[in-house]
Amino acid sequence: MARLEDSSHNRRPQSLFPADDYADREGLGEIDSGAPSRVRGRFSPVTKFLPMTGMVISGLVGILFLADLAVKVPFRRVSVPLDVGFLIASLIVAYLSWSVLDTAKT
């Protein structure tokens, strides 16, 4: 019995990633990686929203735990190492957020 070849079985499956389709062509060309687009060397205001939010929240957390360390207001100074740890963590997040904003400006 002769076997009929279906052309749909011989085709290469369509890729889920558009970059794979570009790689199959003659040249790679410019591949859209999905990264935030730059306009005149700067990121869009939407991209700046996340680091600014990180700076604001880390500032609030830092003030909260600094106040607890100084005057026992919100948490009655349950644990001094915990207060110091959260204070250091908020400083690290603030620095990282500032660094991202500084990188986005250049």
Q: Which two tokens stand for residue 65?
A: 């735990």
83 pLDDT above the threshold of 80: yes
- Rounded to 10 deg, the angle between the 45-71 and 80-105 helix axes is 160
Tell me which of 42 and 55 has the higher pLDDT: 55
The beta strand positions in 1-106, using DSSP E, are: 38-39, 42-43
Query: Please, which pLDDT band fits residue 53 given cuts at 50, 70 and 90?
Result: very high
78 burial class (0-12, 13-18, 19+ CB within 10 angstroms)? exposed
Instruction: Give the pLDDT mean for 58-84.
Output: 94
Is a pLDDT exceeding 90 seen at residue 93?
yes
